Amino acid sequence: MNPKSGIKLQPGNKAQIPLTEIHQKIDAGVKAAVAKAIERHRRLGESISI
């Protein structure tokens, strides 16, 4: 097990989580953060650059 990530590693293999799953999680997190930032700016009446 990789102590930093908590992901079990098998000899000769990389992480068990497929990269596509990791990419989907990262993408979902970025989209949620952007939506939160846009909503905050909207509530405060501040402009936002896109």
pTM of the predicted structure, to 2 decimals: 0.56
Q: Are 30 and 37 in contact (CB under 8 A)?
A: no
pLDDT computed for residue 14 by the predictor: 57
pLDDT digits (tens, 9 = 90+) for 2-45: 455 666 655 665 556 677 888 999 999 999 999 999 999 999 99
* pLDDT tier at 49, thresholds 50, 70, 90: confident
Give the HSE-up count for residue 29: Cα atoms under 13 Å, Cβ half-sphere. 6
* pLDDT tier at 50, thresholds 50, 70, 90: confident
pLDDT computed for residue 1 by the predictor: 47
